[in-house]
Amino acid sequence: MKTRMGGTAGPITWPPVPLSKDGQPNFSNVSSYVAVTGEIVNIPDVYEAEGFDFTGTKKFDAGTGYRSKSMLVIPMRNKENEIIGVLQFINAIDAKTKESIPFVRENVGLIASLASQAAVAITNVRLYRELEHLLDSFIKAIAMAIDEKSPYTAGHIRRVQELTMVIAKKMSEQTEGVFKDFSLNEDELKELSIAAWLHDIGKVTTPEHVVDKSTKLEKISDRAELVSMRYEVIKRDTLIEYYKKLVSDECVINEDKTAEIKKEFEERYNAIEDERKFIMACNQPGEFMDDAKIERLKSIAERNWNDGEEPKPFITENELYNLSIRKGTLTTEERTIIENHALVTSKILKSLPFPKKLMRVPEYAALHHEKLDGTGYPFGKKAEELTYQSRIIAIADIFEALTASDRPYKKPMPISQALKILGFMKKDKHIDADILDFFINEKIYKEYAEKEIKPSQIDC
């Protein structure tokens, strides 16, 4: 009769059969009776049967011209002996006459075996879906935990995953041009999605004080406060020395000497304060350190002050090293620690037994910091070794990082500036030129900006 519902045939339009009515088991419908009791029901002719309501069956017959007669309803039990559904057979057919006949008692056992196999199939499908859902939820939970580890990166992984999938899906839709042969099926899109969710899993081993380092002197706390306090002590000592000179006999009887000492004090005091402000400015991530500034820091570090016990440098060797960072807030050693997360990502994901259709998750996730010219990390791979999938995650990761408004070490960047920087990276062969051009020409960045970027940053 070509009547099909569910699955690929579309939605089920028949109303559901309730298992209970008014708090009592529903024994009026034959399917619910079997589902509740677990008994097999074999009816020779539903139009002559008593004890069940076949209004729905008769209504279907009236609307289609079909004649429902014999009916066999069998419970479907899983391996825990739970009833997960029923199989309802209508109209056994005589092989010779092609007429409807009652279901033969001898065949009921065979059909019950079929119901058992159907129950196994449904249970397996449900288990498969539940495991998939568990895996998806666990992956997202891990990503959330990594983001929550640092208050400054909350949402980063989610945003990278979403942007990655938008780029990949739009590339897959292309029927001409550079990406006409790039097409990801459902499983391949799933594989890429998981890789994007897990691309920063290696950061579970990265110390928070490195991830969150907002100034050059910051460790657990910003040591700039200690330097500033040190300068306040130096200023205090300078002031004490000044007052001691003022009460000296020479100053009491010589006004010119007093004026001279006062002038010297003011010049020295102001120089100390200017020096303190210079160091505080050097501590900021946006301050580019040229050779002249670094030399000034070195000269400051050569001078000593007395804390009451022994002479100590105005700024320590480690403070000098950190303040001399030319760009950003990270030392070479700290940057190595940060970059190590990509290698750790590879190690963690390669240790997991991904199924065949997800076997490239570790590769896509771990290579998002590689560059086409081979200068990236952790493996220094070149263009021919990098798939489109890992290149997509790389661009999504960079664009998110540039435009993110929750980083302690930088101000939110306007889209135009972010795209300009990506353009420089494209020119230097660090990222894929075709994907970046596609990202810009298809205005994917605008679609992302509407959801994730502050209006004040959207300038193109």
SS3 call for 458: coil
362 falls in which pLDDT band (50, 70, 90)? very high
Whether residue 370 lies inside any domain: the answer is yes
The CATH number of whichever domain residue 189 belongs to comes to 1.10.3210.10
Whether residue 167 lies inside any domain: the answer is yes
Q: What are phi and psi of 285, to 5 degrees?
A: -65, -25
- Flag whether pLDDT at 311 surpasses 90: no
Whether residue 8 lies inside any domain: the answer is no
Cα gap 9→424, rounded to integer Å? 51
262 falls in which pLDDT band (50, 70, 90)? confident
**128-166: pLDDT as tens digits:** 999 999 999 999 999 888 888 776 666 899 999 999 999
Domain final position from 298, 329, 360: 329
Residue type, position 94, single letter: D
Q: Please, where are the H alpha helices in 302-353?
A: 317-323, 332-350
The CATH number of whichever domain residue 69 belongs to comes to 3.30.450.40
Going by DSSP bridges, is the β-strand pair 92-93/100-101 parallel, antiparallel, or unpaired? antiparallel
Q: Which domain holds residue 443?
A: 150-211+333-457
- Flag whether pLDDT at 304 surpasses 80: yes
Cα gap 455→398, rounded to integer Å? 20
Q: How many domains does the chain have?
A: 3
Same domain, 236 and 274: yes
Whether residue 3 lies inside any domain: the answer is no
- Flag whether pLDDT at 323 surpasses 70: yes
Domain final position from 272, 303, 329: 329
Cα gap 44→172, rounded to integer Å? 56
**160-194: pLDDT as tens digits:** 999 999 999 999 999 999 999 999 999 999 999 99
Which of 234, 147, 132 is CA-nearest to residue 199? 147
Same domain, 49 and 107: yes
Residue 374: what pLDDT?
A: 96
Tokens 């040190």, residue located:
230
Domain final position from 284, 311, 329: 329
Residue 251: what pLDDT?
A: 64
Same domain, 237 and 156: no
Cα gap 388→171, rounded to integer Å? 10
Find the range with the poorest average confidence among 170-179, 281-290, 341-350, 448-457: 281-290
426 falls in which pLDDT band (50, 70, 90)? very high
Same domain, 263 and 305: yes
**Mean pLDDT (whole number) for 441-445:** 95
Same domain, 346 and 431: yes
Same domain, 411 and 431: yes
**324-334: pLDDT as tens digits:** 999 888 899 99
102 falls in which pLDDT band (50, 70, 90)? very high
Whether residue 55 lies inside any domain: the answer is yes
Residues 199/428, Cβ–Cβ less than 8 Å: no
What's the pTM?
A: 0.75
**Mean pLDDT (whole number) for 409-434:** 92
Q: What is the DSSP letter of 351?
A: T
Same domain, 64 and 97: yes
Whether residue 386 lies inside any domain: the answer is yes
Of residues 108 and 406, more confidently modeled:
108
Same domain, 435 and 297: no
Same domain, 339 and 429: yes
- Flag whether pLDDT at 47 surpasses 90: yes
Same domain, 254 and 195: no
Dihedral sign, Cα of residue 170, residue 176, residue 180, residue 184: positive
Whether residue 10 lies inside any domain: the answer is no
Residue 405: what pLDDT?
A: 82
**Mean pLDDT (whole number) for 434-459:** 94
Whether residue 9 lies inside any domain: the answer is no
Same domain, 97 and 29: yes
Same domain, 349 and 207: yes
